[in-house]
Amino acid sequence: MRDLFLSTAIKFGLFAIVAILIPVFAPAYALQQVAIAIAYAIAILGLNLLMGYAGQICLAQGTLFGVGAYVTAILNATYGVSPLATLPVAAAVSAAVGLVIGLPALRLQGLQLAIVTFGIAAAFPQLLLKLGSLTGGVSGLPVDAPETPGLMTDIPELWLYLISLACAGVGALLVFQILSGDTGRALRAQRDNPQIAQALGVNLTRARLWAFSISSALAGLGGAVFAIVSGFISPESFLAILSINIVIGSIVGGVTSIVGAFVGGLFMVFVPSWASDINLSLGNLIYGLALIFIMMVARNGITGFIEKWLSMIFRRAAG
């Protein structure tokens, strides 16, 4: 227990130090890219709760991410609502949509649920095009930049970064509180053995729908942050491959790790770009090899790999 506490404290301490140092050394463009990575990380955080702790597979996280983004864009572009004021609305609408998507989870499991949710992800961009009068269709929708405080007028990217970091902090705190309480124990119990969990009094229906709802709310919050940081969205931003990339980010970072969600978000944004910079024609090959290497070396994700080495260090130091 002591080793686990120290390991967790060190991870969060390192994360805080990195979050503070990024604005100091990163140029404006890179800072905006980090803000986008954090937006993805919020969606990954929700997927970690659903997949890592509730044991439910969802390949529609990109769709819920897009729902949040479009709620923000529509409220801002059509009704003139302040972008920051749309954040809780985007999370709430996405949570409601997630409840509907979660209904099949009451009867389907494993690959069947994965196929159903991926079908939703595949249909979402076409739905956006069909609802062009509301969503802007192919032309997309602009999103106004939030009013920048006076001290940051010359560096609006810093303000966007702080907004994304604040939303991620709220999401991480929410997930931590859930996992630390009775709800977290119920989720883990029904993940490990639904029959025994039900015999012990866990309401499987409520637990699964609760997990889908919270996961979806986080995805919607991440999508809203993405819309604000990007300043423009279109259906091309929410193709089915986005849901796959979010799953990849979750697994690479660590599917049962809060900090791992942020590692996964950074991986989603920067590794494909770096792979293309190394060799444009072989970018996908390099990216694929990087995924294979990470999974061979760190089967529990990058944060799981770090935890393993930290625990070894603590044991040797104690010995």
Give the relative orientation of helices 204-230 and 87-102 as an angle to the nearest 10 degrees. Answer: 140
In a domain, 282, yes or no: no
- Pick from 312, 267, 317: nearest CA to 37: 267
DSSP letter, residue 181: S
C-alpha 273/C-alpha 278 separation (Å) is: 9
In a domain, 260, yes or no: no
In a domain, 14, yes or no: no
Within its chain, how far is the Cα of 99 from the centroid? Answer: 18
Cα-Cα-Cα-Cα dihedral of 120, 223, 273, 122, to 10°?
A: 10
User: 3-state DSSP call for residue 147?
Assistant: coil
Q: Is the dihedral of CA 102, 105, 108, 109 positive or negative?
A: positive
The owner of tokens 């259906």 is: 235
Torsions phi, psi for 119 (to 5 deg):
-60, -40
Give the amino acid at 227: A
Token pair for residue 48?
A: 């970690």
Within its chain, how far is the Cα of 203 from the centroid? Answer: 26
In a domain, 293, yes or no: no
Cβ proximity of 241 and 83 under 8 Å:
no
Q: Is the dihedral of CA 37, 302, 308, 312 positive or negative?
A: negative
In a domain, 169, yes or no: yes
Neighbours of 259 (CB within 10 A): 21
Cβ proximity of 178 and 184 under 8 Å:
yes
pLDDT by position in tens, the chain (length 319): 454 455 556 666 777 788 888 888 888 888 999 999 999 999 999 999 999 888 888 899 999 999 999 999 999 999 999 999 999 999 999 999 998 888 876 777 778 888 989 999 999 999 999 999 999 999 999 999 898 887 777 788 899 999 999 999 999 999 988 888 877 888 888 777 777 777 777 777 788 888 889 999 999 999 999 999 999 999 999 999 999 999 999 999 999 888 889 999 999 999 988 888 887 777 888 888 988 988 888 888 888 887 777 777 767 776 5
Token pair for residue 186?
A: 């119920």
In a domain, 289, yes or no: no
In a domain, 231, yes or no: yes
C-alpha 163/C-alpha 116 separation (Å) is: 34
Neighbours of 77 (CB within 10 A): 20
Number of domains in the chain: 1
> Any alpha helices (H) in 80-131, and if so which ranges?
87-102, 110-130
C-alpha 281/C-alpha 164 separation (Å) is: 33
Q: Which residues pair with 142 in a beta bridge?
A: 232
Residue 4: its pLDDT value, please? 47
Token pair for residue 59?
A: 């390949």
In a domain, 21, yes or no: no
Question: What is the DSSP annotation of 41-82?
Answer: HHHHHHHIIIIIIS----S-HHHHHHHHHHHHHHHHHHH---
Q: What is the span of the domain harbouring residue 213?
A: 28-239
